[in-house]
A and B are shown apart, each in its own frame.
Chain A
């Protein structure tokens, strides 16, 4: 489409604000900038049906609030929010930026609603998340649709299938972006740029640098378009990095999930009610350490450390009704031996593992929804809760693989979202969303906080970029 009129016009224009990446952070920046009268162009690598990056897979946003408001119950103050963040990051957070995000998050609900976002009334059964998190009606893709409609109404230009390959910065000042379209390169000039192209979780080569060949077996839960190109391009130009370059947030997903974009539905929930074995037919970690929502995020890493990055969760018929089924059918057998053959695991070893586990289980009260203390005795590793022998056929297995959610490496920014270079901030270069989240979320994950960072910093970056044009 090099002769696409929109595209040729875009290359002739000098834009006030160019936004790289049309996920939550990018589109929030575009909306904020256009509302300030800027001429805004969004460049999105993906084709239109795939726009919205990982944001299209999200479900909620964490927001501070002083009292019940909209879908949020109770109150969630800055101090409590910050201490929740400290707990998951183990202190790996820039307090100034973190508090900025938390404080500004209180204004997000009204702003989002004004842009057309719709929320779901608080639900029962969300584990008190309705106090801290607002759920998008229809999820992140619906939110992004509303934002894109609003952006179009306000005159934001969007080019799809237009990945940015290089950000031209001359003498510390933004000049243009170099894009690729239908195999051809072109430059688009602008006065300011907002970098919102996500992390590099879809770049398996890059993940391999941190994880070794094991990374080849990872599944990517979100978009295949977040390849970290813009991030690495900026780092190569002297931008300051934050976050551990080797680390990623990884959960256990069904091994049969697609390589990319499996999203939320490929999760496996049965681990606490059975055992998990590796390729050798051996258990390797306490399956009953804590309730699943508190533990599922560590299992990605645990599986990643096993041979061939695969493991199998095995339950018996007693457990079947206790967890949400996978969208893939379980592998089922009448005996453990038959199951081992179906899974291509060493038959005697698996039978022995199950027999030893069963022998280590003790009688007691089993309670599926709380830590029941029903633990194994004399078994290594132990299973500390919900330890019931596997004995009622049919036995069912689900393969587990590590599923990457996001990466931690990012660009350092200041509280005006300016990207920091070797000698202070670059001029006219701003960043928002996952591409800079490593400053604030250096480790772990706090449900709904990715969207908070993207919304708050997207808005800051958009406003600053619009201001930078004069």
Chain B
């Protein structure tokens, strides 16, 4: 994990965290500060770990007496965001691809258009002689042939990236109890609650708001429901010999339709919050890439819902192509897009649980007097 830009980002995060470590006023906001206090000096790996623990809630920026225009220029949400995304870029192989997708909105558009062209081609040239529902347009076998690798390849790449991350941050053997702690923190998004002050300080300047936590929960649980929907359909197809199409009162639809709606609503809210948020408190270089990712995130469930609504109409074939293209692009880009935040954040939470346990105390020493 090296290069002139990464070195600069690491050095800047280190400079700022050394100030924070002497101050510690923000200790109550999130997991970053208690983890920080366990260190006296920050290795590159520790900095990457702290960057991935940060949820970008921006509370520490608004609280900081050293924020610009102070000469110390502490802007921790930005320093950590820049290092965080740069760490994903450098950890997800092949080198350069993450950089391209994370920074350029055009990369996601290009991926989507290519996937769309590919799907139209598949629909046109692989059209099965018979079949019902979607399978009238593309056979089940063809879908599996396209999507199984498109699903497994990014997973394998992410697994590799996570292994390298784990080495870099000096992670130890993962126990069930570490996973339990991390899972509870991830599922509740407790670190977007601002340490009990009533949320992030993201889209309304220094006023706390729960909007971001709430919208992220919609997307997260919507995603889980959609995933469960696909899983249930797979089980029904293979184990119960009950192929699609499914009507509304079956698990794939009962999970998929509300899940899709949650994702669309949550994704649109997240996008509008991001538009209102101050770009200077995030990573400006990654703003375009992030915005494109949000569009992709919404377009997957939105096209799925449209497809469901357009069943048995002339729009079914083009909407099928669109939906499959968004899914394809979403999965193939996962290691290189903002989606990477999910596995890395989770790994960082696991690592933080380990570190707390090893330290024996939940928090480090604090300067008492003033």
Contacts and interface: CB of A to CB of B under 8 A. Distances in A.
Interface of A: 49-50, 56-60, 118, 120-121, 123-127, 129, 135-142, 145, 149, 258, 261, 263-265, 267, 269, 293, 296-297, 321, 324-327, 447-448
B235 interface: no
Contacts of A261: 65, 70
Contact of A327 (B22, B26, B197, B367): B22
A351 B369 CA distance: 34
A60 B24 CA distance: 12
Nearest to B23: A265
Interface string B350-370: 000000000001111111111
Interface in B19-56: 19, 21-23, 25-29, 40-41
Given A125-B364, A325-B40, 18 more contacts: A49-B67, A50-B69, A58-B370, A118-B196, A120-B27, A123-B363, A123-B366, A124-B366, A139-B25, A140-B25, A141-B65, A264-B22, A264-B25, A265-B23, A269-B367, A296-B369, A324-B40, A324-B367
Nearest to B20: A265
A138 B21 contact: no
Contacts of A267: 22, 367
A263 B65 CA distance: 8
Contacts, number: 117
A118 B29 CA distance: 11
A137 B195 contact: yes
Interface residues of B, number: 42
Contact of A118 (B22, B41, B197, B361): B197
Contact of B63 (A145, A264, A447): A145
Q: 4 nearest interchain CB pairs?
A: A138-B63, A139-B25, A120-B28, A142-B63
Most buried by B among A56, A126, A258, A447: A126
A141 B64 contact: yes
Contacts of A297: 369
A121 B368 contact: no
Contact of B368 (A136, A142, A149, A447): A447
Contacts of B366: 123-126
Contacts of A49: 67-69
B207 interface: yes
Nearest to A140: B65
B76 to A, nearest CB: 12
A140 B23 CA distance: 12
B66 interface: yes
A258 B363 CA distance: 30
Contacts of A265: 19, 22-23, 66, 72
A138 B25 contact: yes
Given A327-B19, A447-B368, A447-B369, A120 B65 contact: no
